[in-house]
Amino acid sequence: MSSPEKMASLAVVNYEALANKDAAEVQKLVTACQTVGMFYLDLRGPSTNAIFEDIPTIFKTGHAFFNLPHDSNEKTQSAREGMERGYHAGKGFEYYEIARDEYQLGKWHLPATFEPEKERITRTINSFHGAIQTVVAELCAALDIRIPELSDDAAIPSDTALKLLYKPPMHEPGHVIHPWHTDFGLATLLWYDEVTTQIPIYDKEGKQTDEWETVPVIDGTVLINVADELAAQSGGRLHSTVHRVVAPPGPKRVRNGIIYLLRPYKV
């Protein structure tokens, strides 16, 4: 008989309280980022509520785009060689990444399939960017970390981006899709509808074991984790989270995801 699945218990940080610089919420954030390095951000508030209507529509539009033939004009014209932004097809997944700097400056042209949802996409980019920027700003203020990205200037090139993920129904439940890793950049925001993220269990000496805990889904929240560059800038006080991606339980099916990647300036 297989052993029961171990479930992770992560802190839930309220975005509205954090944006209002609530001291208890800031401390909860700092503690989470100094220990596990991953936490839930509750976005059920007036400034971010629209995403709960916008994202299902964006996913539906994404289906229409990703189901186009691989040699369709929309896909071939969106492909960008040698960089993550734009359309890419990998083994067992496809994605479309919108670079924030180009998009904010009006230099980004959406594929025709996505164009009708431009307002929703814009609102989602702005909501996610505001959320993750607030998280990083409050962390840096609490720990006296100085990074240029807090200026939040879209005119300075970076790899900050919104990434739409599409995974066809091909993996068995529990299959490891992306082996353990930490993220490049400052921080990562993940919108997820299903259980796909796992974090390692550590022994009493703090060493990573071969056992994993599954991160549950909590309605109204996104997952945020500290990434390598922010951990480095903190002098090791913040923890860049080791994690992996697995196929969720249940029958094989199409899976969607949205990731927002806050990455350093290119200076």
User: Given this model, what pLDDT does residue 235 score?
Assistant: 96
Q: What pLDDT does residue 253 have? A: 83
Residue pair 34/215 in contact (Cβ under 8 Å)? The answer is: no
Does a structural domain hold residue 216?
A: yes
pLDDT at 231: 98
CATH number at residue 188: 2.60.120.330
- SS3 (DSSP) at 70: coil
The pTM (predicted TM-score) of the whole model is 0.95
Q: How far apart are CA 85 and CA 70, in angstroms?
A: 17
Which one, of 262, 9, 23, lies nearest residue 154 by Cα?
A: 262
Domain assignment present for 6: no
Residue 175 lies inside a defined structural domain of this protein: yes
Number of folded domains that form the chain: 1
Q: Which regions of the chain are under pLDDT 50? A: 1-3
pLDDT of residue 192: 85
Please measure the distance between the N-terminal and C-terminal CA atoms of the chain and give it in whole angstroms: 55
User: What is the domain extent for residue 151?
Assistant: 12-262
Residue 212 belongs to a domain:
yes
Which pLDDT score, from 0 to 100, does residue 159 have? 95
The dihedral formed by the CA atoms of 15, 17, 21 and 27, expressed in degrees to the nearest 10: -80
197 within a domain of the structure (yes/no): yes
Q: Is residue 2 part of a domain?
A: no
Residue 116 lies in a domain: yes
What per-residue confidence (pLDDT) applies to 4? 61
In a domain, 7, yes or no: no
The DSSP secondary-structure symbol of 3 reads P
